[in-house]
Structure 1
Amino acid sequence: MIDLIFLEDDPDLGTELADFLGEIGYRVTFVTSLAEFQAAFEPGRHHLAVIDVGLPDGSGLSLIHDLRKAGDRLGIVVFSARGTTPDKIEGLSIGADHYLSKGCDLAELSATLEALCRRLELASRQPWRLELGPRRLHMPDGSAVALSQQDLLVLRCLMETPGENISRKQIIQTLGGDYLSYDQRRLDTQMRRLRRKVFDCGGQELPVNTLRNSGYRFYAEALVQA
């Protein structure tokens, strides 16, 4: 598992994003200030950094400048509300590898980090793997959970096209139900049970976004096997 240090001064947003980064397979150190970053950062352990620019005790750009000056082999992604072209040019010029605006889709953040891992030749992370025959879901850390037939059908529908929005209608039809007469509370209940089953087995959150009133999306790397 790749260690990532994440600097964001908004504790609510930071906690949400730190959870997301953990769900997609990173070991996250979450800090809220430059002082906390400097106390927690370990060059030999942290290989990636996601850094905000506007901070209560200084500038994230100054931090990036110092990290590059120290010669640390570190993949750096700026994740900031300051998203104008001049802002991005400044951040990239100082030494950031990528510069993303906070309004971007989290799938873009995930893909950016994946690309950075490949370029830096960091250890690749295992995908979430769905075995159809044995009805098992394998998590990136190697643990696995047995699935019911209903669980399998839902996950196959989501994991065959990771990153894409899958409508409730598509999932219900995959389950063999009639969308017009199907009680959609059953689907919500099944998703809650599936999330709990995965967490209880492996201690990891199932990487599925709930799309309000429309469906679900599996946002991590996925592999479906017969």
Structure 2
Amino acid sequence: MVDLILLEDEPTLREEIAEFLESRGYEATCAASMAEFEQRFDPGRHRVAIIDIGLPDGNGLQLIERLRATGLGLGIVVFSARGTSTDKIAGLDVGADHYLGKGCDLDELASTLSALAKRLDLRPRERWRLEVGARRLHAPSAPPVTLSQQDAAVLHCLMQQAGTVVGHQEINRALGAQARDDEQQRLDAQMSRLRRKIQDDCGQILPVKMLRNRGYCFYSPAEIQD
């Protein structure tokens, strides 16, 4: 879907927001300070920024001003505990597209991001395609990768529900595996091997996110062929 960067200094909230966004199909890069944002922000990749205002090393409004001065077509959403009318006006005046208070429901944040993506015409990435019978995965603009039966079964399970979180038990049922105490560790190990294989064979990063204690999400548009 859309690559975004999240700037939030409070660790628990940052993790909660990132996991929520990833469950909605976003690829989220996290930063805890303005300095870390500057290090991790990739203008060729990140198309939306979610920015807190009160930060340990400065004011997020100054960062927004700098971003707007570059002329990048970046979507910017302020997500801040500072929620007075004066704060909101200041944020919008320096170039934020939207200004949300931290007391809002995360579904409101998701709706705001969806509306922003449509307005800015942030088109989704090219589709990944899985050939089930031939056990081949086609990454965008890359040669196909031949898969093992087990890897093909895992990807089939994830790609047919692209954009949603698929739990460990459901993936194990797709594999025909019996429930075991170490099922999560075994799936994590398999997914790590599969990521390495895809990157080694076709140079692409497999768009699968692990959400701790919940499962996995294939976060790019996907197509499945028999």
- The within-5 A match list for 1:29-48 is 33=34, 48=47
* 8 A contact 2:7–2:34 mirrored in 1: yes
For residues 124 and 208 of structure 1, what CA distance do their matches in structure 2 show? 17
* 8 A contact 1:3–1:46 mirrored in 2: yes
Note if 1:135 corresponds to 2:132. Answer: no
Which deviations, in whole Å up to 9, do the C-alpha atoms of 1:117-147 show, x marking residues without a partner?
Answer: 4422356521333222332222345343221
Q: CA RMSD, aligned part only?
A: 4.6
Determine helix, strand or coil for the equivalent of 1:169. Answer: helix
- The within-5 A match list for 1:2-21 is 8=7
* 8 A contact 1:9–1:56 mirrored in 2: no
Does 1 or 2 have the higher relative contact order (CA < 8 Å, sep 6+)?
2
For residues 112 and 129 of structure 1, what CA distance do their matches in structure 2 show? 29
- The within-5 A match list for 1:33-182 is 33=34, 48=47, 50=49, 51-55=51-55, 58-65=58-65, 72=71, 74-78=73-77, 80=79, 82-83=80-81, 85-86=83-84, 89-90=88-89, 93-94=92-93, 95-99=95-99, 116-122=116-122, 124-179=124-179
* 8 A contact 2:34–2:60 mirrored in 1: no
> Could you tell me the TM-score, scaled by structure 2's length?
0.62
- The within-5 A match list for 1:185-200 is 185-200=185-200
> Could you tell me the TM-score, scaled by structure 1's length?
0.62
For residues 193 and 33 of structure 1, what CA distance do their matches in structure 2 show? 34
Give structure 2 stretches of 5+ with no counterpart. Answer: none
Identical columns (%): 39
Q: Which range moved further: 91-100 or 160-169? A: 91-100
Give structure 1 stretches of 5+ with no counterpart. Answer: none
Deviation at 1:219, TM superposition (A): 2.8
1:209 match: 210
Deviation at 1:209, TM superposition (A): 1.4
For residues 42 and 150 of structure 2, what CA distance do their matches in structure 1 show? 44
